[in-house]
Amino acid sequence: MATQRTRRETLLGFQPPAIGEEEIEAVVETLRTGWIATGPKAGELEERFAEYVGARHAVTLASGTAALHLALLAARIGPGDEVVTTPITWPATANVIVHAGAKPVFVDVRAEDLNIDPDAVAEAIGPRTKAIIPVHLAGQPCDLDALLPLGVPVIEDATHAVESVYRGRKIGSIEGSLCAAFSLNATKNVAGAEGGILTTDDDELAAEIRELRLMRRKPGALYDIRVAGFKANLPDLLAALALVQLEKVEEHAAVRRRHVAAYDAAVAELDGITPLARDPRDVHALHIYVVRIDPERAGADRNAYRDALAEELIATSIHFLPLHRLTFYRELLPEQPPLPVAERAGDEVLSLPLSPAHSDEDVADAVDALRRVHAAVSS
Ligand SMILES: Cc1ncc(COP(=O)(O)O)c(C=O)c1O
């Protein structure tokens, strides 16, 4: 591939958090109160987030991973059980199934949006199936109307889906779903450095997760515990940051919407580069902007585009490589049948920089670089 002129002089980061003075002040103020561990700020975040998604309960946790893990434990999923999930996700989604002692069952995804294919889920359900973990990939809600009636508890991986609405119903408070797990990781739409929130309408599940997240002393006892709890609580220092980010959630979404519109317009003119489908009936959280690169039509494969964009100082990422092809899962599941849609997608997906911290000029730089690479490899 011909070397391109580098337009930028500094690297355009893939997904830097948009941190303003308000976030800095909130963290400093919390430091000054002297209470930095889990306390009033975490409590306030739980109230605000429950209100935002319309759920009865929001439980703050150390990470999205912890939210998924404790949800499985609270749902009594363990050895001998199977949990059906998607291979097109971050490893955490399936790792927690393994941590719970259960077996992940990977099924294929839909070509248009790479969300789990409900027909494949239905086929995979057997007597050992105790839950389904769908992922609202990139912020596009899964087909919950097809998944929820399958009669198996649904634990939503909503880590990409803070703002998502499925057919008029807010993700995080969907009737019939057991719970939804959100992430506050630094790259997420509500960036709290690290952290997670689990939302549910189920009083017992919420109480159980509160008990599991921390080694809690039994009230009244001198010193006793009822369960072997974890250390999965969210400190106030991070909750303070997440609270400000939550206040800005719509403002930041508006910036990302503008960036996505610029990308959509640009890639519409680049043969062989196609964004994942977004269903107009839903609100998409626009967490990441994923394109598929068809090597036949785009003139080069995804890896070549990735390398050429890196030379242009445009950082990109991959969401995601199919989990069943990664070493750990290949070894764990030697009988895994091929999942052709996911496998092809794993070779073709590339995520372009998307953050409310990016200016319109930054996105224009990324678009220019993509156009230059496309022109160079298509000529
Ligand atoms: C799809 C998906 N699931 C789960 C997680 C885990 O979230 P956390 O990093 O908050 O543990 C991530 C994080 O990137 C993710 O992208």
Check residue 221 and give its pLDDT. Answer: 65
- Evaluate: CB of 90 within 6 angstroms of ligand 1: yes
CA of 91 to the centre of ligand 1 (A): 8
202 DSSP 8-state letter: -
Instruction: Round to whole Å and give the CA distance between 107 and 337.
Output: 9
Cβ of 320 less than 6 Å from ligand 1: no
Does ligand 1 come within 6 angstroms of the Cβ of 185?
yes
| H-run or E-run covering 170 | strand 169-170
**From the CB of 86, is ligand 1 less than 6 Å away?**
no
Predicted local distance difference test score (pLDDT) of residue 1: 42
- Name the stretches of the chain with pLDDT < 70: 1-6, 216-219, 221
Q: pTM for this structure?
A: 0.97
The string of pLDDT tens digits covering residues 85-109 is: 999 999 999 999 999 999 999 999 9
* Cα 270 to ligand 1 centroid, rounded to whole Å: 31
What's the pLDDT tens digit per position in 262-289?
Answer: 999 999 999 999 999 999 999 999 999 9
The dihedrals phi and psi of 197, each to the nearest 5 degrees, come to -140, 135
In this structure, which residue's CA is closest to atom 7 in ligand 1?
Answer: 64
pLDDT of residue 223: 75
Residue with tokens 């949990």: 83
Q: Map out the domains of the chain as residue ranges.
A: 21-247, 249-378
Topology of domain 21-247, CATH: Aspartate Aminotransferase; domain 2 (3.40.640)
Cα separation, 299 vs 20, in Å, equals 41
Asked if residue 14 has a cis previous peptide bond (ω within 30° of 0), the answer is no
Ligand 1, residue 195: give the atom nearest the CA. 10
pLDDT at position 2 is 43
- Residue 329's pLDDT is what? 98
Cα(244) to centroid(ligand 1), Å: 21
Q: Which is the CATH superfamily of the domain at 249-378?
A: Aspartate Aminotransferase, domain 1 (3.90.1150.10)
182 with 75: CB under 8 angstroms?
Answer: no
Res 226: pLDDT: 81
**Model pLDDT, residue 331:** 98
CA of 111 to the centre of ligand 1 (A): 22
Q: Is the CB of 140 under 6 A from ligand 1?
A: no
Whether 54 and 170 have beta carbons less than 8 Å apart is answered as yes
Q: Which atom of ligand 1 is nearest to the CA of 137?
A: 1
> Is residue 170 annotated as part of the catalytic site, yes or no?
no
Q: How far is CA 141 from CA 186, 192, 349, in A?
A: 21, 23, 19
64 lines ligand 1 (CB under 6 A): yes
